């Protein structure tokens, strides 16, 4: 090889070497929260941008808050977040009308779907782009190496001391066995645990908080928020987050004030079932301390009477379930607290399932997962290898020996120049035709949803695992509501390549999110208004009347009365009123068996690590970063079967064992629907559903 060839070869590898070098430098330090506050002025515009945020280490949306002052004539502006250099980042845009002398505030919600942490904000007008009005924007780093480090947003005007909170997390991880030694094996890949922002920086949509695990806000600050932002915080809580309202006090009027601030309706909070924090949960033998450089040490026994420690004379906090999430009320301000205090809180709210994003949703949108293969659409596998091999074998025999001998026998070998391309053309048509016949041009879907209906608040939260396969990708892409968080699920070693999100009218995903003849999966989390309800009227000790006020029917329905006794009904259409009798053990067993249909499982003949996985995965090359990772491929840390949704699903399957008031939720219901509820979004019109299942639950 010449020196010139060697130089060209080295130059081609230079970008990969530089990226690996930067990553190696990052291994020795903890990354800070992303973003900044900056302004752009020009063309009679002043654009103020706040991109500070935290979390999103496994997925969710990162909000870029924008405030525009137009001192010129009315105009139509398009705000874009584009990729920086050659990085892979969704193109996110929103077009807005900005009147003359008007001020407009809105948010660009950026889906965090890969390892990219940099983009660029640009502003376009109908006449063209403003070349001088563009600015780089940074986003939170991915956390693909560790479990159990929550991201907490603290609503406060100043800063918050993070060390006690971090040590509480490390201690809980150690005690719960989430990591050997309790340390941070890859500390350079974690983002900051705490970020303090003023109330004025809070976005007004719940999906902008979807990448967070905890939010802390004083009651007085909560009261002063505008209604949209307060509603967004409550919606985020219902969707699985943990909201900590601090400095509430002891008086009952303060609790009423909390309900009024969050719901604007004290009666809707009547279903909240509060429990006091248990002092015994605070006890821990040693504290695991991790210093900023990643060094791990233990402190035992934990020190007592530390400044900032939560008072022990009375329970410092109370908590209640709100939808799929937790609402925690502190009598005082919890920061800074101690490591032992924060260990107490993490244990009380439910541990890793609550405080770790990947554990809560069972996946990471920023890396691939082997669990992808557990939710395929029946009849839609990979390439039809067997049929293709049969056709190619026949093609080889026909175009080769058979073609030659037939023409040789007729002494017309000169026709080979015509028969060979003709046979190849016909074979290609057969292969293409088989694919069309097998999969068609339409969209097939498989959906597995769980919906919680809060009848008193007339709201619903739907978590839906969605698998799509399009014979021909819809030209209009996929369309979802603004209140639906779209969390992509990638196959192992796969990741985001290209796509666009347009927020102008709704949430429209185009240009690569759903590709033709490509297995595609999402986890969607949606909050929506729901006026439908299940009216339950107790008639006697062994008799219930149920009126189905929803727009869908139930194949099987289980209802518990105010004593926790279970009643079962089958085939209940929308609008029907039926009488239910006490459930028998056989009926409950049949209900559990029905829920176990269409399970999460690998297709026959496929295992994520076996020889067949060659057809599904690339063993070494990472398409996410376009390079060979110097650290190897991280072990999958999160599994969908451990998610909040699947844990709820598994608990409902144990209904035959429910025999006590402790295990039977009172005045509640859950059932398997006969149709797809209107709350479940598939993203595309006229999709053919296969092997779907939908569970609806709530309280009456």
Average pLDDT over residues 683-694: 93
Q: Tell me what pLDDT residue 509 has.
A: 96
| Beta strand segments in 391-477, E | 443-454, 459-470
Residue 209 structural domain: 152-361
Please state which of the ranges 60-74, 303-317, 405-419, 509-523 shows the lowest mean pLDDT: 405-419
Do 622 and 488 lie in one domain? The reply is yes
**Rounded to whole angstroms, what are the CA distances from 60 to 66, 207, 545?**
19, 8, 42
More confident of the two residues 390 and 4: 390
Q: Is the pLDDT of residue 348 over 80?
A: yes
Question: CA–CA separation, 279 vs 316, rounded Å?
Answer: 9
User: Is 427 in the same domain as 451?
Assistant: no
Tokens 């049929």 correspond to 387
pLDDT of residue 255: 64
The mean of the pLDDT values for the chain is 84
Given this model, what pLDDT does residue 594 score?
92
Alpha-carbon span 179 to 356, nearest angstrom:
14
**For residue 564, is it within any domain?**
no
**Count of domains in the chain?**
5
In a domain, 559, yes or no: no
pLDDT digits (tens, 9 = 90+) for 614-662: 333 333 333 333 333 333 444 457 889 999 999 999 999 999 888 765 5
Contact 165, 172 (CB under 8 A): no
Decide: 468 and 520 in contact? Cβ < 8 Å.
yes
- At 130, the pLDDT band (50, 70, 90 cuts) reads confident
Kindly tell me if the per-residue pLDDT of 456 is higher than 70. yes
Q: How far apart are CA 544 and CA 667, in angstroms?
A: 12
Helix/strand/coil percent split, the chain, to 5: 30, 30, 40
Least confident of 302-311, 371-380, 408-417, 429-438: 429-438
- The confidence score (pLDDT) of residue 691 equals 93
Are 95 and 242 part of one and the same domain? no
| Rounded (10°) CA dihedral 652, 656, 662, 665 | 50
Residue 683: per-residue pLDDT: 95
Report the share of the chain in percent with pLDDT over 90: 53
Query: What letter does residue 398 receive in the DSSP assignment?
Result: I
On whether residue 543 sits in a domain, the answer given is: no
pLDDT (average), residues 515-520: 90
pLDDT band at residue 677 under the 50/70/90 scheme: very high
pLDDT at 265: 59
pLDDT digits (tens, 9 = 90+) for 663-673: 678 899 999 99
Position 37 confidence tier, pLDDT thresholds 50, 70, 90: very high
For 19, the 3-state DSSP assignment is: helix
Distance CA 480, CA 466 (A): 13
160, 278: one domain = yes
Q: Per residue in 87-120, pLDDT tens?
A: 788 999 999 999 999 999 999 999 999 888 889 9
User: Is residue 162 located within the same domain as residue 226?
Assistant: yes
Assigned domain for 422 exists: yes
In a domain, 298, yes or no: yes
- Determine phi and psi for 413, rounding to 5 degrees: -60, -20
For residue 551, being part of any structural domain is answered with no
- CATH code for the domain of 73: 2.60.40.1470
- Are residues 519 and 640 located together in one domain of the fold? yes
Are 236 and 277 in the same domain? yes
How many angstroms separate the CA atoms of 302 and 688, rounded? 58
Which pLDDT score is estimated for 338? 94
User: Which has the minimum average pLDDT: 65-69, 151-155, 432-436?
Assistant: 432-436
Per-residue pLDDT, 607:
55
User: How far, CA to CA in Å, does 53 sit from each of 29, 94, 203?
Assistant: 19, 20, 11
> Are 229 and 311 in a shared domain?
yes
Domain membership flag for residue 548: no
- The verdict on 191 and 220 lying in the same domain is yes
In a domain, residue 4? The reply is yes
What is the predicted pLDDT for the residue at 20?
37
Asked if 158 and 272 sit in the same domain, the reply is yes
pLDDT band at 182 (very low <50, low <70, confident <90, very high): very low
304 and 413: one domain? Answer: no
Is the model's pLDDT at 187 over the cut of 80?
no
pLDDT digits (tens, 9 = 90+) for 531-555: 999 999 988 778 899 999 999 999 9
Give the pLDDT band of residue 483 (cuts 50, 70, 90).
very high
Residue ending a domain, among 110, 138, 166, is 138
Same domain, yes or no, for 522 and 671? yes
Confidence at residue 570, expressed as pLDDT on a 0 to 100 scale: 94
Query: 112, 138, 164 — which closes off a domain?
Result: 138
Confidence of residue 502 (pLDDT cuts 50, 70, 90): very high
Domain boundary among 89, 109, 138: 138
Determine the average pLDDT of the residues in 583-597.
92
Q: Give the number of other CB atoms < 10 A from CB of residue 268.
A: 17
Q: What is the pLDDT of residue 631?
A: 36
Which residues are registered as beta bridge partners of 266?
A: none
Using DSSP, state whether 454 is helix, strand or coil: strand
Hey, what are 564's tokens? 């926790």
Determine the Cα–Cα distance for residues 653 and 660; give it in Å rounded to an integer: 16
Q: How confident is the model at residue 254 (pLDDT cuts 50, 70, 90)?
A: low
């Amino acid at each position: 090889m010449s020196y010139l060839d060697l130089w060209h070869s080295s130059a081609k590898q230079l970008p990969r070497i530089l990226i690996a070098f930067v990553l190696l430098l990052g291994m020795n330090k903890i990354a800070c929260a992303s973003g900044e506050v900056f302004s752009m002025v020009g063309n009679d515009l002043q654009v103020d941008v706040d991109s500070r945020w935290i979390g999103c280490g496994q997925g969710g949306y990162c909000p870029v808050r924008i405030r525009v002052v137009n001192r010129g004539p009315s105009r139509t502006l398009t705000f874009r977040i584009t990729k920086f250099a050659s990085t892979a980042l969704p193109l996110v845009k929103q077009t807005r009308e900005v009147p003359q002398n008007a001020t407009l505030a809105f948010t660009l919600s950026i889906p965090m779907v890969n390892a990219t942490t940099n983009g660029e904000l640009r502003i376009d007008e109908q006449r063209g782009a403003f070349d001088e009005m563009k600015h780089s924007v940074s986003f939170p780093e991915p956390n693909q190496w560790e479990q159990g480090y929550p991201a907490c947003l603290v609503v406060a005007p100043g800063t918050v001391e993070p060390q006690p909170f971090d040590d509480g997390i490390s201690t809980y991880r150690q005690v719960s066995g989430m990591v050997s030694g309790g340390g941070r094996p890859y500390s350079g890949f974690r983002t900051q645990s705490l970020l303090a922002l003023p109330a004025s920086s809070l976005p007004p949509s719940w999906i902008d908080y979807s990448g967070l695990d905890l939010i802390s806000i004083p009651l007085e600050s909560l009261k002063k928020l505008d209604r949209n932002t307060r509603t967004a915080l409550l919606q985020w809580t219902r969707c699985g987050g943990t909201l900590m309202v601090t400095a509430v006090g002891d008086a009952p009027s303060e609790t009423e004030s909390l309900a009024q601030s969050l719901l604007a309706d004290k009666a809707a909070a009547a279903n909240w079932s509060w429990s006091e924090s248990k002092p015994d949960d605070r006890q821990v033998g040693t504290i695991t301390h991790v210093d900023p450089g990643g060094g791990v040490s233990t402190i035992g026994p934990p020190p007592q009477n530390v400044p900032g420690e939560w008072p022990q004379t009375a329970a410092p906090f109370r908590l209640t379930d709100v939808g799929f999430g937790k609402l925690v009320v502190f009598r005082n301000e919890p920061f800074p607290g101690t490591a032992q205090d924060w260990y107490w809180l993490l244990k009380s709210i439910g541990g890793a399932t609550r405080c770790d994003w990947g554990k809560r949703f069972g996946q990471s949108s920023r890396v691939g997962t082997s669990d992808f293969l557990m939710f395929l659409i029946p009849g839609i596998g990979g390439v039809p290898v067997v049929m293709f091999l049969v056709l190619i074998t026949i093609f080889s025999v026909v175009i080769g020996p058979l073609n030659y001998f037939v023409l040789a026998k007729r002494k017309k070998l000169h026709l080979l120049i015509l028969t060979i391309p003709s046979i190849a053309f016909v074979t290609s048509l057969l292969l293409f035709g088989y694919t069309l016949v097998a999969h068609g041009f339409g969209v097939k879907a498989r959906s597995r949803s769980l919906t919680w209906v809060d009848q008193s608040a007339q709201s619903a939260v739907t978590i839906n695992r969605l698998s799509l396969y399009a014979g021909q990708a819809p030209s209009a892409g996929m369309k979802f509501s603004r209140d639906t968080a779209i969390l992509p699920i990638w196959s192992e070693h796969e990741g985001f390549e290209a796509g666009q999100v347009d927020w102008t009218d709704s949430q429209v995903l185009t240009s690569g999110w759903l590709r033709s003849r490509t297995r595609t999966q999402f986890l969607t989390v949606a909050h929506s208004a729901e006026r439908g309800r299940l009216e339950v009227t107790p008639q006697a000790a062994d008799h219930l009347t149920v009126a189905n006020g929803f727009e869908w029917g139930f194949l099987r329905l289980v209802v518990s009365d105010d004593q926790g006794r279970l009643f079962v009904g089958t085939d209940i259409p929308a609008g029907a009123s039926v009488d239910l009798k006490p459930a028998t053990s056989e009926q409950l067993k049949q209900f559990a068996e029905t829920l176990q249909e269409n399970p999460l499982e690998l297709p026959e003949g496929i295992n994520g690590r076996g020889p067949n996985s060659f057809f599904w995965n690339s063993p070494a090359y990472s398409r996410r970063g376009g390079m060979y990772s110097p650290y190897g491929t991280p072990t999958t840390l999160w599994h969908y079967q451990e998610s909040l949704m699947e844990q709820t699903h598994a608990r409902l399957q144990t209904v035959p064992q429910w025999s006590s008031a402790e295990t039977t939720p009172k005045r509640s219901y859950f059932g398997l629907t006969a149709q797809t509820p209107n709350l479940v979004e598939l993203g595309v019109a006229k999709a053919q559903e296969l092997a779907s299942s939908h569970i609806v639950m709530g309280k009456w």
